[in-house]
Each structure stands twice: as structure tokens, then as C-alpha cells.
Amino acid sequence: MALPKQNKRRIIFHIDMNCFYASVEMAYNPTLKGKPLAIAGNPEERRGVIVTSSYEARDKGVKTTMNVWQAKKLCPNLTVMKPNFDRYRAASKEMFKILSEVTPFVQPVSIDEGYMDVTETKNYGTPLELAEYLQKRILQELDLPCSIGIAPNKFLAKMASDMKKPLGITILRKRELDRTLWPLSVVEMYGVGEKTSEKLHAVGVKTIGDLAKADVYQLKQLFGINGERLRNRANGIDPRPVDPDAIYEFKSIGNSQTLAEDTTDINKIRRLMEYLADNVERRMKRKNAAGKSIQLMIRYHDRKTITRSKKLQYYVDSKSEILLIANELLQQHWNEEPIRLVGITVLDIEDKQYIGKQLDLFSYEKEASKEKLYGAIDTLTEKYGKNPFKQIYPSEQEQQPKTSFQKDFLDDYRK
């Protein structure tokens, strides 16, 4: 797909669904509307973690990553539900279908947000009228609220959509940044986290305006090339195109999940790792990909998080290979303190059509002998919808929230 020409002044939308998971549940069950609602893994468990919450719950102090017991202490009448990812995925697909009817230049970035380039879009009036049309249509057809940012580039559109929620429409113009964007604290800038803001504060950069005027050399000393990029963004400079095919670019495939409770039980940890490796293998198969590095993430009971990885001499794509390295990393780097979350990621990903599988003399026979088994499993899986030979995992695993929603489905709206 040919992208719009960059020499024309662009009109970019950022669509951001409001409290998406909670809003989908309210649309599905209207009796929940107007009530404090939270989505959490294992709602019955004291240590279940809040994934998202409605504005009514947020008004009572309920926040993402808070434990269920803490949330209920702040809001005793809080309704807590476990996630229904199939439902959210279906709603996301319908939302992106609506956007794609207006322009082919739609770039999903997650289940509940995406960019549109509407520079060449006609027949809908002004950009503001188009935004009002989309917002109203998504609300009427899907019963879901969204906020829309309108700007000449992706960064400013993203900043704009965050400024008015729920059901907000905000326009950010470059010529007005000195009064709309620059007075904001630098930590409110998209792409600046707490650690980055601490470093910026240490050199006297407190607001986005300070960052826009900061010394480029000093920023590069602190953050490398990203320092200059941050300064450009603060000045409203962002040449990135809205690329509908960006969803097919990937360098890693991973899965992470919170345990039902902090634990040192090696059997529970290994069961979760097997479940994660199974998910990663399935997603790699869908992408027809293989990778050369395995990364293990461990988050402890005190939220301290470590990531450790191993670079391989060969490409891997199977659950057994991924799990072997992940278990090796666990054995080497786990300090035996209680674990809250585990993640497994395959890095240095390549499409299999561009790599030749590296089989040595000893592994060839073993690999060839598995081909009939793989074929049989795939046939049964197609027939019955699930690999009948895979272990059935405890239901608690299904109830735990995934920290990063799988993005493999983001092209579903095109099908």
C-alpha cells in the first residue's frame, strides 16, 4: 500500500478507546453502567491484580496493577470481573473495521488504540466533523466511548487524545504548543517514563517546554539518539508515517503472566513457564517465525523486575527448545524469593522463509522422525480446535491477566 506523500500538511487521528475492557463489559451487560467496575485476574483471590477499571472506580482511587483487596478497601461496592479476551478482541475488530471504512491508512498499535491518516479523506467535512462522526458511530454501533486526538503527526495526535477523557476530541496545532503542550510536566509526555523524567529533572528539565529548548548534546549524553528524538517530539516534530503494514513488523514474540499469588513453589512456576512457552510457540507458528535469543523476565513480590537472556547459535521455534533455555535461565538467575510474574520472550526474530533451518548430522534424524507426529497433531487440532495432546492447565492460569495483550490479531479487521 502506497503511503500518503509527506510533503503535504498531514492530518493524523489517534483513536483511544476509554477504559476499554470495562467499557466492553458494560456494553455487554448494561446493568453495570454507572457502577464502579474493575477487570482483574482471579477476582476471588486476595492477590488478584486490577487490569483496568471504570471511571467510577477510578474516582474512588482504584488503579491498574492494584491488588483486588486494596481496591475493595477503597471502594467496597466495587464489582470485579475476570477478563474476557475473546470479547475484547471481537470489539476491537469491529472498531477498526469502522475506522478502515473511512480510510485505508489505519495503523492499529494495540487492542484499544490506533492511528489514522485522513489527509486525503473527503466527503466527511472538516477534520473535526470527521472525528465527531467516528466517535458518534463507535458509540452508537458498539456502545463504546473513545477519545480522538487530531494533529499534524502521530506524537501530537497521541498527546491530544489523552487530554480529554472520556469522549473527548482535542486538536493540537504546532503553532500553539507554547500554551497547549509546553506548560505540562515532562513526565506527562508520551515516551517519558518515571526514570527518564528523574534524569531530566536532574538537569533542570521540568516541563515539556524545558525539553523543547534543552541542549541536544546534553540530551544525547543522557539518552543517546533517543535524547534528540525526545527533543524533536517536544517541538512537535515527528515524521513517522501512519503505516497499515507496521503490524507485520516484529522483532520479538513473548508472553508474560501474573501468578495467582506470590510463590516460591517451583512446580507452580514451571507449570506457568510451560504454559507461556506453549503460547509463544503457537504465536511463532502463526507468524511462521523463529528466533535466536531467549529472554526470561521475573518480577518478584516487591515488584523488582529482572530480565535475563541467552543468545543461541541457531534458530529455535518449538516449545521444548524455548522452555529448555528458559528453565536454564531460571535456574541461573532466580534468587529464590517469591515470584509474582514470569515472562518468556523469543528475540532476534526472523521470518522462516528468509532463514534455512540449521540441522546438524545428529539432530536431522530426530527432527525428521517428528514430522509425522507434527502432521497428525496439526490435523487433529484443525478438526477439534485444540491440540489434544497438550496438557490441560489449571483454570487459575486462564484467569490471570496477561501484562501485554497479544497483538497477533491486529489485522483481523481486514479479513
For residue 5, pLDDT over 70 is answered with no
Strand partners, 257: 342, 402
Residue list for the binding site for Mg(2+): 16, 112
> Radius of gyration of the chain from Cα atoms?
23
Strand partners, 110: 113
Peptide bond into 30 cis (omega under 30): no
Q: Tell whether 201 and 124 lie within a shared domain.
A: no
Q: Pick 404 or 336 by higher pLDDT.
A: 336
d(CA 268, CA 314): 30
What cell was used for 143? 456502545
d(CA 201, CA 220): 15
- Is the residue at 33 inside a domain? yes
The neighbour count for residue 402, using CB atoms within 10 Å, is 18
- Is the residue at 244 inside a domain? no
Q: Tell whether 198 and 122 lie within a shared domain.
A: no
Residues 80-106 have pLDDT tens digits of 999 998 999 999 999 999 999 999 999
Per DSSP, helices labelled H in 309-411 are 319-333, 361-384, 395-399
Place of cell 513457564: 273
Tell me the pLDDT band of 392, cut-offs 50, 70 and 90: very low
Place of cell 507458528: 285
Q: What is the pLDDT of residue 413?
A: 83
Q: Tell whether 260 and 375 lie within a shared domain.
A: yes
User: Largest Cα–Cα distance of the chain, in whole Å?
Assistant: 69
d(CA 193, CA 334): 27
365 assigned to active site: no
- Is the residue at 40 inside a domain? yes
For residue 382, pLDDT over 60 is answered with no
Nearest to 118 by CA among 9, 7, 241, 11: 11
224: left (phi > 0), else alpha (psi -120 to 50), else beta? left
For residue 221, pLDDT over 70 is answered with yes
How long is the chain? 415
Q: Which of 149, 181, 213 is the last residue of a domain?
A: 181
Tell me the pLDDT band of 393, cut-offs 50, 70 and 90: very low
Q: What is the pLDDT of residue 348?
A: 87
Q: Tell whether 171 and 202 lie within a shared domain.
A: no
Q: Pick 409 or 230 by higher pLDDT.
A: 230
- Is the residue at 49 inside a domain? yes
Tell me the pLDDT band of 350, cut-offs 50, 70 and 90: confident
Q: Quick one: CA dihedral 331, 332, 338, 344, positive or negative?
A: negative
Residues 264-297 have pLDDT tens digits of 999 999 999 999 999 999 988 888 888 999 999 9
Residues 304-326 have pLDDT tens digits of 899 999 999 888 989 999 999 99
- Domain of residue 361, residue span: 250-414
Average model confidence (pLDDT) across the chain: 86
Q: Pick 346 or 250 by higher pLDDT.
A: 346
- Is the residue at 243 inside a domain? no
Domain with 3 in it: what CATH number? 3.30.70.270
d(CA 294, CA 325): 7
Tell me the pLDDT band of 247, cut-offs 50, 70 and 90: confident
Q: Tell whether 189 and 175 lie within a shared domain.
A: no
What cell was used for 90? 471481537
- Spot the catalytic one: 25, 44, 45, 113: 113
- Is the residue at 241 inside a domain? no
Q: Tell whether 175 and 192 lie within a shared domain.
A: no
For residue 248, pLDDT over 60 is answered with yes
d(CA 41, CA 257): 10
For residue 378, pLDDT over 80 is answered with no
For residue 4, pLDDT over 70 is answered with no
- Is the residue at 380 inside a domain? yes
Q: Pick 188 or 403 by higher pLDDT.
A: 188
- Report yes or no: 335 and 302 within 8 Å, Cβ to Cβ: no
Number of domains in the chain: 3
Q: What is the pLDDT of residue 388?
A: 41
Q: Tell whether 316 and 387 lie within a shared domain.
A: yes
Q: Pick 335 or 372 by higher pLDDT.
A: 335
The neighbour count for residue 407, using CB atoms within 10 Å, is 15
Q: Tell whether 130 and 13 lie within a shared domain.
A: yes
Q: Quick one: CA dihedral 392, 398, 400, 402, positive or negative?
A: positive
